[in-house]
Structures are given as structure tokens and as C-alpha cells.
Amino acid sequence: MNLCDLLSKEVIRIPLKNTEKNQIIEEMVDLLAQNNKLKDRNMVLEAVLDRERVMSTGMGDGVAIPHAKSDGVETLVIAFGITIKDVDFKSIDEKPVRLIFLLVGPVDQTGPHLKALSRISRLMHRKEFRDRLANARNSEEVIEAITREEQKYFSM
């Protein structure tokens, strides 16, 4: 599974309009809903916010991956956004966030959800890649950067 197989330009927003964590999550859920990626927008939003209340998904280095499993989706869905300014996401390194991947998978499909989380986490550990994404001006540049990085590190 490649992230670019799941990510399309319609579900990438640069910049995100909101500047507060829960509003950003809602904006990204709405982006998925507007592009017919969700069965139930409210169910998905509730699941992601519930997960965020348990423990922040701010993974450090300016990256957050809010995620959840929900009956509000039929298949694994991903959205990506870059904030207009630093956002306090209560990250583990206590640093603000600018790069956000939102990931929602069906309740009965754990494998793809975990694989996508793992793949995003591994890619985002490279500073050069994070910088390339942070400097992307549009969705095409995001998709190109992710495609190139996946080919470099995950192709056999």
C-alpha cells in the first residue's frame, strides 16, 4: 500500500484555514466528506476527536497524525494539510505542528490502518522530507514529494 494510492489532490489543503487543533481536525474531516470519502461525517469526527482526547497524536518534529477507526468509512481514507502557522497539538516533544495527516480506517480492518500509520511515521522521521513537504505550495508538490520518498524507501 502506497500513501499516494490513498491520497489525492482533492483531500490536500494548503494552507489549512483553522489554527486550533480540534478545528483543524474538523476541517480535515470536512475535506474528506466534501469529496465523498465518508459514509458518516459526524461519526468520523467524533471518533477522531475521541481518539485525540485519549492521547495527542502530535508525534513530534512538527507532525501530527490524528487518526481513528470508525464505522463512518468503508475503506481507509487519508487527508493532508499544512497549517498557516504553528499549532499547539500537545505533541510528545512539546513543539508546535505544521504538517498534519488525518487517517481514518474501518473498525474491522486493522491491518491497513496500522500499515498506513507506520508508513507515515517512517517517512516523517526524515528532516529533509518534512522540510520538502512544509515548503510545498500545492497538492501536486505534496503528491510528488510523497511519491518520490515512497519510491526511494519502500520500493523493492
Give every CB contact of residue 76 below 8 A, 6+ residues apart in sequence: 6, 103, 104, 105, 106, 109, 112, 113, 116
Joined together, the cell numbers standing for residue 103 give 487517517
Three-state DSSP state, 50:
helix
* Cα-Cα-Cα-Cα dihedral sign, residues 55, 62, 88, 65: negative
Question: How many residues are listed for the chain in this entry?
Answer: 156
Calpha distance 149→131 (Å, rounded)? 12
Q: Which of 13, 51, 67, 119 is catalytic?
A: 67
Taking a C-beta distance cutoff of 8 angstroms, is the pair 97, 61 a contact?
A: no
What is the number of other CB atoms lying within 10 angstroms of the CB of residue 152?
Answer: 11
Active site (annotated) includes residue 125: no
Positions marked active-site: 67
